[in-house]
């Protein structure tokens, strides 16, 4: 019944109508039979349709605004993908039909069109600056008008979206942290970047489409509809444009937040650079729209491209290489053409074992390659490669074992040169593409993570409450030491170690008695005067009563501090918290400068005393630095790899930073 013909890829039932039509020469089989590519795209379409159904359902079901925005974003992405796949399918069908038509008219000769190699294109660090009006900044009444934005990046059939970012007037730039890599890019790529936004205060429930209808629409475009669509798009004999062009999938209208296109731009090969560049955005919409966000008008990003010819082996094989015209010095090597080099290894196994190549011949835009005449001895054509090394022309003569090999090498060189001419600046050097690490860095806080927002002071003006809050906070979070924020009085110590901090203490909390410094601490804690490369880090606020607990970041303190309710605790607790965190590090460790806070009720001065004691050893180094003529308290950088400061600010460091007499240095 079925006729299995070797030339066809699928079977056609004998004596069927289709078979008769084929016999009559009306149709070619390939038109009707599903090609491998078609089924791929069809699978993708089905997948996206399923995703879209899911997004619609989620949108209908969710109650939270954030969820609704995310679902709407997925919906938009799915829709765009479906459109892209459909149009690609359409194009492919058309191409097939055109091919068939061309073949029929039998005009085509062997098309010798060389195709450039594909490559990877990565876009990362997208940043869109905003330009808020000054009235917005100073408008304090009312809540923040927020918009949800995200970027859609489209290249050919590949569509990716970035994460969603909430934008309000406290943001100066919209930053998208995602790195998006497109794998099958050709040099003539067109990367379309679209910015969508949606106001996050709309009333979503006012949907125009009743729910039932919406669900009906979304479900009706399921798998069966997709199949029907494919069959319909399949063009008949005489109509290349087919019915597919008129058949566009209607986007199901669902209630929920709708994103609008705010701006777009197109990037291409000319914009690729191994660096950050700014491009112009074409904005649509104006201030009246609800989804408006005041854009400055440009987008900054890093667009890198890695053509395959730069990071893949384009050709490899055994070669005989002669330097210059000397027939004696021919070497047998295994050559690998990759990037801008022809690397010649002694043996093929050397590549896997990461041995350096015996020598490397540059193959770049300035290289000239010619086929030379046949060698009379071996009757094999050879290839001569000429480069200019610093003004001198160096020629290598390369020959393969057989004619076909030589021809393949020449072909490879031609292709390589063509690739380099197409990819232009991407072939000068291999651009790095950083793939985002799968592990996301733990998000530290919500947006309003500053200390001020968290402090709720019930009894106004009570310093005790404030310090209690600070204590609690420091207990919760692992406060890293504030680097580079030595309080200004540190310089006082640098110059005269014995000076008291009294001028600073005056006028602050009325509860700071000026008692004589007790010395439960000092004897047992003799700081060794071996401060090497590090200086004391002074992390406490200058004006707080017992603020100064400088510590040196080596080694550990004895125990983590327990927390009595003394109001002066927080200052020294921070010291301990820092030191206990540092204990684990194990760097340096040369200095055991212990500044353990006293166990019972603290007075301000003992801490100060301790600081004096420790500072006396550090003053030597700080006086060294100050001897250079600048009063610049060095920040803490004891161990080679000390920590960067945290994002949190504390009151004390703020004050220290704001003092203009310091020339702050921060370790990063």
Partner 1 sequence: MSFIPGQPVTAVVQRIEIRKLRQGEHLILGFSIGGGIDQDPGQNPFSEDKSDKGIYVTRVTPGGPAEVAGLMMGDKVMQVNGWDMTMVTHDQARKRLTKKNEDVVRLLVTRKSLEQAVRHSMM
Both structure tokens of 103: 């073949």
Neighbours of 480 (CB within 10 A): 19
Give the DSSP H/E element, type plus range, for residue 159. strand 158-161
Exposure on the CB side of residue 524, measured as CA atoms within 13 A: 10
**Least Å from the CB of residue 177 to partner 1:** 5
Cα–Cα distance, 390 to 550 (Å, whole number): 58
Neighbours of 189 (CB within 10 A): 19
Cα–Cα distance, 413 to 420 (Å, whole number): 10
Q: Which of 399, 407, 371, 369 is nearest to 386 (CA)?
A: 369
**Least Å from the CB of residue 489 to partner 1:** 17
**Least Å from the CB of residue 134 to partner 1:** 19
383 forms beta bridges with: 371, 398
Output 208 or 437, the one with its CB closest to partner 1: 437
Cα–Cα distance, 167 to 200 (Å, whole number): 10
Output 274 or 468, the one with its CB closest to partner 1: 274
Output 544 or 645, the one with its CB closest to partner 1: 645
Q: Which residues of 206-226 are buried (b: 16+ CB within 10 A; e: fewer)?
A: ebeeeeeebbebbeebeeeeb
Both structure tokens of 361: 């011949």
Output 339 or 484, the one with its CB closest to partner 1: 484
Cα–Cα distance, 449 to 467 (Å, whole number): 18
Cα–Cα distance, 72 to 51 (Å, whole number): 12
Task: Return the residue matching tokens 């005009």.
Answer: 107
**Least Å from the CB of residue 299 to partner 1:** 11
Residue 306, judged by CB atoms within 10 A of its CB (0-12, 13-18, 19+), counts as: buried
**Least Å from the CB of residue 666 to partner 1:** 4
Both structure tokens of 625: 């630095």
**Least Å from the CB of residue 668 to partner 1:** 4
Output 124 or 218, the one with its CB closest to partner 1: 124
374, 378, 382, 384 alpha-carbon torsion, rounded to 10°: -100
Binding footprint of partner 1 on the chain (CB under 8 A): 125, 127, 177, 274-276, 300-302, 432, 434, 437, 440-442, 444, 480, 484, 584-585, 628, 630-632, 635, 637, 640-645, 647, 657, 660-668
User: Which residues does 6 contact at the CB level (< 8 Å), separation at least 6?
Assistant: none
Output 54 or 129, the one with its CB closest to partner 1: 129
299 forms beta bridges with: 279
Output 519 or 667, the one with its CB closest to partner 1: 667
**Least Å from the CB of residue 218 to partner 1:** 35
Output 525 or 648, the one with its CB closest to partner 1: 648
Residue 617, judged by CB atoms within 10 A of its CB (0-12, 13-18, 19+), counts as: buried
**Least Å from the CB of residue 279 to partner 1:** 12
**Least Å from the CB of residue 552 to partner 1:** 16
Q: Which of 522, 507, 537, 515 is nearest to 652 (CA)?
A: 537
Output 323 or 664, the one with its CB closest to partner 1: 664
Instruction: With beta carbons less than 8 A apart as the criterion, state whether 23 and 182 touch.
Output: no
**Least Å from the CB of residue 513 to partner 1:** 35
Output 212 or 630, the one with its CB closest to partner 1: 630
Output 253 or 433, the one with its CB closest to partner 1: 433
**Least Å from the CB of residue 551 to partner 1:** 18
């Amino acid at each position: 019944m079925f006729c299995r013909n070797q030339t066809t890829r699928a079977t056609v039932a004998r004596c069927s109508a289709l078979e008769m039509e084929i016999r009559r020469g009306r149709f070619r089989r390939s038109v009707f039979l599903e090609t491998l590519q078609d089924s791929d795209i069809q699978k993708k379409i089905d997948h996206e349709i399923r995703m879209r159904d899911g997004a619609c359902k989620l949108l209908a079901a969710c109650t939270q605004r954030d969820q609704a925005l995310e679902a709407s974003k997925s919906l938009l992405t799915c829709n765009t993908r479906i459109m892209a796949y459909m149009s690609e399918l359409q194009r492919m069908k058309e191409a097939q039909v055109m091919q068939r038509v061309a073949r029929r008219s039998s005009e085509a000769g062997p098309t010798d069109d060389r195709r450039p190699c594909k490559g990877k294109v990565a876009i990362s660090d997208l940043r869109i600056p905003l330009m808020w009006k000054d009235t917005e900044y100073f408008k304090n009444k009312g809540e923040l008008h927020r918009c949800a934005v995200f970027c859609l990046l489209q290249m050919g059939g590949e569509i990716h979206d970035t994460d969603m970012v909430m934008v309000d007037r406290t943001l100066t730039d919209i930053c998208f942290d995602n790195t998006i890599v497109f794998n099958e890019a050709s040099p003539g790529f067109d990367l379309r970047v679209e910015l969508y936004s949606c106001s996050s205060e709309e009333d979503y429930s006012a949907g125009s489409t009743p729910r039932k209808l919406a669900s009906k629409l979304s479900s009706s475009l399921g798998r069966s509809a997709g199949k029907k669509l494919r069959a319909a798009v399949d063009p008949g004999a005489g109509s290349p444009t087919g019915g597919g062009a008129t058949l566009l999938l209607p986007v199901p209208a669902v209630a929920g937040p709708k994103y609008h296109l705010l701006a777009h731009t197109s990037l291409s090969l000319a914009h690729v650079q191994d660096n950050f560049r700014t491009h112009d955005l074409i904005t649509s919409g104006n201030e009246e729209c609800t989804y408006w966000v005041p854009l400055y008008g440009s987008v900054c990003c890093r667009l890198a491209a890695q053509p395959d010819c730069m990071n893949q082996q384009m050709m490899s094989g055994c070669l005989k290489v002669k330097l210059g015209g000397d027939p004696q010095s021919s070497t047998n090597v295994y050559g690998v053409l990759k990037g801008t080099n022809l690397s010649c290894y002694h043996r093929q196994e050397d590549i896997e074992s990461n041995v350096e190549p015996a020598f490397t011949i540059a193959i770049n835009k300035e290289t000239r390659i010619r086929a030379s005449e046949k060698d009379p001895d071996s009757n094999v054509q050879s290839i001569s490669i000429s480069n200019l090394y610093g003004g001198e022309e160096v020629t290598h003569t390369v020959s393969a074992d057989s004619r076909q090999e030589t021809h393949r090498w020449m072909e490879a060189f031609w292709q390589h040169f063509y690739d380099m001419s197409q990819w232009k600046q991407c072939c000068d050097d291999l651009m790095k593409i950083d793939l985002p690490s799968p592990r996301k860095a733990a998000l530290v806080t919500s947006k309003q993570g500053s200390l001020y927002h968290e402090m709720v002071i019930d009894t106004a003006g009570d310093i005790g409450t404030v310090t209690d809050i600070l204590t609690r906070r420091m207990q919760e979070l692992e406060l890293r030491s504030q680097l580079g924020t030595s309080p200004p009085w540190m310089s006082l110590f640098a110059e005269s170690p014995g000076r008291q901090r009294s001028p600073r203490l005056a006028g602050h909390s009325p509860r700071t008695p000026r008692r004589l410094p007790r010395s439960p601490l000092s004897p047992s804690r003799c700081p060794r005067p071996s401060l090497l490369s590090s200086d004391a880090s002074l992390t406490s606020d200058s004006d707080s009563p017992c603020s100064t607990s400088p510590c040196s970041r080596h080694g550990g303190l004895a125990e983590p501090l327990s927390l009595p309710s003394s109001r002066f605790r927080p200052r020294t607790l921070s010291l301990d918290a820092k030191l206990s965190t540092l204990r684990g590090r194990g760097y340096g460790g040369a200095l055991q400068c212990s500044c353990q806070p006293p166990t019972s009720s603290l007075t301000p001065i003992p801490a100060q005393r301790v600081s004096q004691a420790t500072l006396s050893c550090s003053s030597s180094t700080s006086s060294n630095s100050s001897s250079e003529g600048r009063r610049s308290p060095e920040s803490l950088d004891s161990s080679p790899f000390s920590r960067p400061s945290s994002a949190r600010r504390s009151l004390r460091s703020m004050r220290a930073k704001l003092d203009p007499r310091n020339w702050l240095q921060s370790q990063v």
